[in-house]
Structure 1
Amino acid sequence: MPPTFSSAKTRTALRASARVSLDLLLILGMATVTLWLLGLMWSVVWPLVIGLLLTTLTWPPTRFLRRHGWPPAAAASAVTVVFLLVATGVVALIAVPVASQSGELTDGVMEGIHRVRDWAAGPPLNIGDDQITQASDAAISRLQDSAGSMVTTVVTAVNTVVNGLVTAVLALFLMFFFLKDGPRFLPWLTRQLPGRLATDIPVVAARGWETLGVFVRSQALVGLLDAVFIGLGLWILGVPLVLPLAVLTFVSAFVPIVGALFAGFVAVLIAMVSNGLTDALIVLAIIVVVQQLEGNVLQPMIQSRGLGLHAAVVLLVVTLGGSLAGIVGSLLAVPVAALFAVVWNYLREQLSDPPQEPRTDERPAGATAPS
């Protein structure tokens, strides 16, 4: 006989599905409103995020000083000053050698341009001087016609630089205050929250802080591996400015996608103007191999092991973050996903039933009752 369907069970299933769908819509609506509010407050949220990431990087030495009797303000001040000195030293380590060899690099660039021009004049392109002159005149006239848009672009670039400097200064001050007063935050938060929230939110915040620290340390390890491998390849090929290029590779590893592209472009350019086109192609191949190994193997493995996320999840969230918010989305995708995992694991712990302990009056089968 064909099975018969119960109308009561069907209505119950439909009501349950409707209730779950409504709950999901409410959650999505709340998430949309939260993201919209974050967008409105982004000028404050972005320095706060950078300050937190810098604090996770500088908290271990601050904790060491505080455990050895330093006052909180003195320890935070000392670590902040050392951080500024290290950052300034990194910039100097990149800028000074480049400036000292700027003349050689300029001559190499001009020589490279002449080589490209001579190559284009021969077969198979056979581009003559008249065609090159016409192309140059067309490019100059196009630049003159788009002078207004160029001015707008320059103004936008200046505003971006100014906003970046303001963000860096705010993040630095926030890092100092986090280092100084960070340990007092969770007790203060516990006193402000009512009831069960006074226990749950501080626990989640502490776990989230540990997760951010793991993310920053894993990103630094990935950048160090990139700098070592790429710097070793440049040193074997005899490319100049190996140390500045390695430092630039390490620093740019903290900015996904664009940082790697920028560091790779600089390395290939210097290899081309100093060693020629063949070595530049070899450097390009080394950078591509290292970046593919880092992006598809090392980074997902290191971050998935430290953050408790699967390697495939890391790849997917980085892709999703880049498609939604560009560079910033790629930078924040992994820590945000890790924080969501922290919240979900805590909720699962609180909602799951505690393990049942065996009853003391149970006796194994076949045992005799006491007399």
Structure 2
Amino acid sequence: MTATLSSTKARDALRTSARFSAELLLIFAMLAVSLWLLGRMWSVVWPLVVGLLLTTLTWPLARFLRRHGWKPALAASAVTVLSLLVAGGVVALIAVPVASQSGELTDGVVDGIQKLRDWASGPPLNIGDDDITKAMDSAVARAQDGLGSMVTTVVTGVSTIVNGLVTAVLALFLMFFFLKDGPRFLPWLARQLPGRLATDIPTVAARGWATLGSFVRSQAAVGLLDAILIGLGLWVVGVPLVLPLAVLTFVSAFVPIIGALFAGFVAVLIALVFNGLTDALIVLAIIIVVQQLEGNVFQPMIQSRGLGLHAAVILLAVTLGGSLAGIVGSLLAVPIAALIAVVWNYLREQLSEPSPEPVAEG
């Protein structure tokens, strides 16, 4: 028996597909407009983001002081002053030496890539294809530009010192107000919203804050451990530029997966240029051991729960963030992806049908 195509079902399917496509295009248009507005307001959004990230790091101490009888304003002031003292110490002891050695670090990476290129062009590989040569030249240029951007981001936070100081001052003021008035924000927000939004948005905001705080604090702790262990290993081997390499390792920890690969690659290249192949292999072994300890020991101990993101999603998010906004985009890509996942999980919870009650057997 031959089945005939139902014109009614076909029209319904086409209408459904057209409606779905139109809705999807509308969502993409809204996202494009949102990104455009975000770019136009970046001078305000960037200090807000930095202030939120600083607040996630300092909130546990402020919460501890508040629970022990300190007034909110006094606790926020004490934590802000302490943060300024710590930041000043970091600038004096770490950032200034790193900035003074950044040119040497960049030159070492470029020389290391050139050595790899020369080795690949000789026996036994004998790679001399023009496309590979162009790719290596592109890698040299990108490594030089990317590493320079990383060092600039670490030292100044933005492209110029003036903007960096303005961003730092605004971020500190915002951090103070977040620490002082943060717990009152969600109740205030709930009173401003109508109907069900008064429940949904504060719930999503609370979950997003918990996720963001967990990510920033855990990555900072893991990055600090990585930087200390790898820095000690480089110092024992006798590799130069230990301090900037340790700082690079710490900052790269905030870009999961790709950051560790990038920092390890730079350390091996520096060892290859200044110490030779044997020490470069020793450094590679040290980095592999530390990364294994990080993945199997440090992160399970420090992170009480993961972000709930697959490794492929993290890779795609970091790649997209880097292509859209460079180093800053790479640093913010995973937290943004995690916040999107929080919103999606909440929507899925609200749209899911309740599980049917099991039928009792009589």
**Given the two structures, how large is their TM-score scaled by the length of structure 2?**
0.72
Write the letter of the residue equivalent to 1:169: V
Q: Distance in 1 between matches of 2:207 and 2:308?
A: 12
Q: CA deviation at 1:268?
A: 6.8
Paired residues for 1:119-158 under 5 Å: none
Aligned to 1:354, the other structure's residue is in SS state coil
In structure 2, what is the equivalent of residue 131 of structure 1?
Answer: none
Q: CA deviation at 1:55?
A: 0.4
In structure 2, what is the equivalent of residue 235 of structure 1?
Answer: 235
Contact 2:239–2:270 (8 Å) recurs in 1? no
In structure 2, what is the equivalent of residue 347 of structure 1?
Answer: 347
CA distance change for structure 1 residues 98 and 209 in 2, over 3 Å: closer, same or farther? closer
Q: CA deviation at 1:173?
A: 1.1
Q: Distance in 2 between matches of 1:66 and 1:304?
A: 24
Q: CA deviation at 1:221?
A: 3.1
In structure 1, what is the equivalent of residue 76 of structure 2?
Answer: 76
2:73 equivalent to 1:47: no
Contact 1:55–1:178 (8 Å) recurs in 2? yes
CA distance change for structure 1 residues 162 and 363 in 2, over 3 Å: closer, same or farther? closer
Write the letter of the residue equivalent to 1:3: A
Contact 1:94–1:248 (8 Å) recurs in 2? no
In structure 2, what is the equivalent of residue 199 of structure 1?
Answer: 199
Q: Distance in 1 between matches of 2:360 and 2:7?
A: 47
Q: CA deviation at 1:197?
A: 0.7
Aligned to 1:167, the other structure's residue is in SS state helix
Contact 1:249–1:260 (8 Å) recurs in 2? no
Paired residues for 1:173-192 under 5 Å: 173-192=173-192
Q: Distance in 2 between matches of 1:72 and 1:78?
A: 10
Q: Distance in 1 between matches of 2:95 and 2:332?
A: 28
How big is each residue's C-alpha offset from its partner over 1:38-77, in whole Å with a ceiling of 9 and x where there is no partner? 1110100011011101100100000000000000011011
In structure 2, what is the equivalent of residue 18 of structure 1?
Answer: 18
Q: CA deviation at 1:294?
A: 9.7
Contact 1:264–1:284 (8 Å) recurs in 2? no
Q: Distance in 2 between matches of 1:342 and 1:84?
A: 32
In structure 1, what is the equivalent of residue 361 of structure 2?
Answer: 364
Q: Distance in 2 between matches of 1:296 and 1:328?
A: 24
Q: CA deviation at 1:357?
A: 3.5
Q: Distance in 2 between matches of 1:325 and 1:79?
A: 31
- Aligned CA RMSD, in angstroms, stands at 4.0
Q: CA deviation at 1:8?
A: 0.8
Contact 2:215–2:335 (8 Å) recurs in 1? yes
CA distance change for structure 1 residues 324 and 293 in 2, over 3 Å: closer, same or farther? farther
Percent same amino acid at aligned positions? 70
Q: Distance in 2 between matches of 1:38 and 1:2?
A: 57
In structure 2, what is the equivalent of residue 149 of structure 1?
Answer: none
Q: Distance in 1 between matches of 2:25 and 2:296?
A: 36
Q: Distance in 1 between matches of 2:15 and 2:240?
A: 71
Q: CA deviation at 1:322?
A: 1.2
Aligned to 2:306, the other structure's residue is in SS state helix
Q: CA deviation at 1:169?
A: 1.3
Q: CA deviation at 1:246?
A: 3.5
Q: Distance in 2 between matches of 1:305 and 1:272?
A: 40
CA distance change for structure 1 residues 39 and 97 in 2, over 3 Å: closer, same or farther? closer
CA distance change for structure 1 residues 11 and 225 in 2, over 3 Å: closer, same or farther? same
CA distance change for structure 1 residues 353 and 187 in 2, over 3 Å: closer, same or farther? same
Q: CA deviation at 1:91?
A: 2.6
Structure 2 spans left out of the alignment, 5+ residues: 112-121, 123-155
In structure 1, what is the equivalent of residue 90 of structure 2?
Answer: 90
Paired residues for 1:50-65 under 5 Å: 50-65=50-65
Q: Distance in 2 between matches of 1:298 and 1:32?
A: 41
In structure 2, what is the equivalent of residue 117 of structure 1?
Answer: none
Write the letter of the residue equivalent to 1:63: R
Contact 2:50–2:171 (8 Å) recurs in 1? yes
In structure 1, what is the equivalent of residue 37 of structure 2?
Answer: 37
Aligned to 1:195, the other structure's residue is in SS state coil
Aligned to 1:306, the other structure's residue is in SS state coil
Q: Distance in 2 between matches of 1:89 and 1:271?
A: 32
Moved more, 203-212 or 164-173: 164-173
2:214 equivalent to 1:217: no
How big is each residue's C-alpha offset from its partner over 1:295-319, in whole Å with a ceiling of 9 and x where there is no partner? 9999999989521111221122111
Write the letter of the residue equivalent to 2:36: W
Q: CA deviation at 1:281?
A: 3.8
Aligned to 1:355, the other structure's residue is in SS state coil
CA distance change for structure 1 residues 40 and 298 in 2, over 3 Å: closer, same or farther? farther
Would you say how many aligned residue pairs link Structure 1 and Structure 2?
Answer: 309
How big is each residue's C-alpha offset from its partner over 1:184-218, in whole Å with a ceiling of 9 and x where there is no partner? 10011011111111111000100010011111023
CA distance change for structure 1 residues 6 and 58 in 2, over 3 Å: closer, same or farther? same
**Given the two structures, how large is their TM-score scaled by the length of structure 1?**
0.70
In structure 2, what is the equivalent of residue 151 of structure 1?
Answer: none
Contact 1:226–1:249 (8 Å) recurs in 2? yes
Q: CA deviation at 1:262?
A: 8.0
Q: Distance in 2 between matches of 1:53 and 1:87?
A: 14
Q: CA deviation at 1:94?
A: 2.5
Q: Distance in 2 between matches of 1:291 and 1:25?
A: 45
In structure 2, what is the equivalent of residue 308 of structure 1?
Answer: 308
CA distance change for structure 1 residues 296 and 15 in 2, over 3 Å: closer, same or farther? farther
Moved more, 276-285 or 224-233: 276-285
CA distance change for structure 1 residues 88 and 63 in 2, over 3 Å: closer, same or farther? same
Contact 1:97–1:241 (8 Å) recurs in 2? no
In structure 2, what is the equivalent of residue 226 of structure 1?
Answer: 226
In structure 1, what is the equivalent of residue 134 of structure 2?
Answer: none
